[in-house]
């Protein structure tokens, strides 16, 4: 079984976070170390450690990541100029928290690659 992460505690509101969206499938909150003027993490409420752990039954929640990203991009006013959606997988992919998450990043020109 996957180990709980800090994201699990954010979902349950056990630790503070700037939550901008939450429903029964996903939670979205502002990154505490933003890489652009708009940087929001969108996570499934179910703990899925990496993309390699995704199962067919996770498709609804993972699809919701994209519809919530679209909604939040519009609310942030970055939908027309553009934004980037990033999902990292494992250490070489840059994943730091092992609870799958999508970064919604924008609000300024990002260039050809977002550097960490």
Catalytic residues: 101
In order of 13, 14, 32, the CA distances from 54 in angstroms are: 24, 26, 26
């Amino acid at each position: 079984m996957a180990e709980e992460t800090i994201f699990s505690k954010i979902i349950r509101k056990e630790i503070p976070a700037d939550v901008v969206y939450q429903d029964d499938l996903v939670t979205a909150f502002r990154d505490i170390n933003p890489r652009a003027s708009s940087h929001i993490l969108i996570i499934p409420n179910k703990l899925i450690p990496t993309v390699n752990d995704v199962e067919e039954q996770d498709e609804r929640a993972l699809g919701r990541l994209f519809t919530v990203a679209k909604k939040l991009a519009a609310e942030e006013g970055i939908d027309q100029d553009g934004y980037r959606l990033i999902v990292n997988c494992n250490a070489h992919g840059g994943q730091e928290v092992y609870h799958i998450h999508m970064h919604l990043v924008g609000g300024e020109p990002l260039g050809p690659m977002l550097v960490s």
